[in-house]
Every structure is written in C-alpha cells, then in structure tokens.
Amino acid sequence: MFGGVFNPPHIGHMVCAQEAFVALELDVVVFVPVSQAPHREIEEDPGAGTRLRMCGVAITGDGRFELSEIELERPGPSYTADTLRELARRRPGDELFLILGGDEAATLATAWREPEEVLRLATVAVAERDGRRREEIAEAVSSLEGGERLAFFEMPRIDVSATLVRRRAAAGLPIRYLVPDKVGDFIGAKSLYGASAAVGAG
Ligand code: ATP
C-alpha cells in the first residue's frame, strides 16, 4: 500500500513506488489516495476524485502499479489502520507492506491513530528521504509494539514535493519532467492549481 494525498502525483512518488517494488520484491504497489487527511486540510484540493484520476493517469501502462479507491469509499477522514484492515479483508493471504517516506515514518508513534495495529497488519517500508537516518526513525518507533517491524529501502534522493509542483504551476513555470507527462497534460487541460494549458507541455 502506498498512501498519500497525491496532490498531484509526481516523480518522487513514482520512483519511491518503483524502488519499493524492486527492493522488497513486491507483486504490486497499490496507490491509495486519501479522501480526507486526518490532521491537516489538503491545500488547494481539487477533490479526492480528481486526485484519484491523476493517480490513475500516472500509473497507466505500468503493470507494477495499481490504484485503489478504498479510502474514497469510506466517509470521513482516512486512517491507515482502517485501510489496512480493509485491504487485509479483501486480499486474504497477501503479505502487506505500507510504503512511507521517511518524514511520515518518523511521526508514526506520535501522530498516527492505532500505530501498533498498523505494525501488526503490515511491514512498514520506509524510503530514505530528507536525510533522516535509519536509526533516528527506528528509535522513533521503537517504543511501539511491533516497532522492530520496519524495513528500509533506498531511493535516489528526489527533492520534488507536490507543494513545489503546485507552486510552479501557479507561477506559470513548467512542471514537465517533475510529474509524469500525462499528469502534466491533465493539470494543464483542467487548469488545476492556477496552471495554464502550457505548464505540462514542452
Ligand atoms: P505535499 O508537498 O503536498 O505535502 P508530498 O509531495 O509530500 O505532498 P504526499 O502525497 O503527502 O506528497 O506523499 C505521499 C507519500 O509519498 C508519503 O509517504 C511521502 O513521504 C512520500 N513522498 C512524497 N514525495 C516524495 C519524494 N520526493 N521522495 C520520496 N518519497 C516521497
């Protein structure tokens, strides 16, 4: 499971999913866009349906990736523990991994609902990001039951965030190469984030 706001999906997400797939020998990476984020308002949210569509566009043609609407089917804020429980129910016998950037993983013990249930249901697979070192993250979750159930995988550091992409789109700067081509086309065509049609194109 690779959850996120995906507002919009960008190359940091795509490479993270790809490296997790390879390093952890996964059968599939399922992108799960959140409906409502529990702790924060989603900035410049074009709506969960639109973020879901952008994820669909981003993964099209890549058989390693799938898309799930599971969090859009539940009303209210999306909690990962609920989603993992539902995934476990729908995919009995599957071994579940939860893919997280290092910044997210460091907050597992303090900011997440039912973190021990998350660790019971899935191996938490952490990408090295933002220079946070493994020991620091492992230490942050060590107090939790199942806290040893962490896996780390490396990815080339890609300093792109959805915030950066939105800002560039709003400023009329190109977002080509920062997002999958078809996502750039989609953002331009729908004028998301104040973008003109040209931002995604060459
Ligand atoms: P925003 O800038 O709006 O906060 P974001 O780019 O961090 O968004 P999210 O949708 O919040 O994107 O991230 C989903 C998941 O992808 C999180 O686990 C996050 O840590 C991870 N992620 C996001 N960007 C990168 C990146 N550049 N490299 C590695 N992992 C990333």
Q: Where are the domains of the chain?
A: 2-160
| pLDDT at residue number 160 | 96
Please state, in angstroms and rounded to a whole number, the distance separating the CA atoms of residues 44 and 126: 27
Q: Whose CA is nearest to atom 13 of ligand 1?
A: 4
Residue nearest to atom 26 of ligand 1 (CA): 12
Q: pLDDT tens-digit profile of 110-150? A: 989 999 999 999 999 999 855 567 888 888 889 999 998 89
Decide: 103 in ligand 1 pocket, CB within 6 A.
Answer: yes
Tell me the angle at which helices 48-59 and 181-190 cross, rounded to the nearest 10 degrees.
150
Span from the CA of 132 to the centroid of ligand 1 (angstroms):
14
Over 139-170, what HEC string results? Answer: HHHCCCCCCCCEEEECCCCCCCCHHHHHHHHH
Indicate the pTM of the whole model: 0.95
2-160: CATH superfamily = HUPs (3.40.50.620)
Q: How far apart are CA 112 and CA 117, in angstroms?
A: 10
Question: pLDDT value at position 137?
Answer: 87
Pocket test for ligand 1, best of 11, 13, 32, 154 (most atoms within 8 A of CB): 13
51-60 burial: b if 16+ Cβ within 10 Å, else e? bbbbbbbbbe
Is 130 buried (19+), middle (13-18) or exposed (0-12) by CB count in 10 A? exposed
Q: Closest Cα partner for 53 from 74, 31, 36?
A: 31
Beta strands at 123-127 and 150-153: parallel, antiparallel or unpaired: parallel
- At residue 103, the pLDDT reads 82
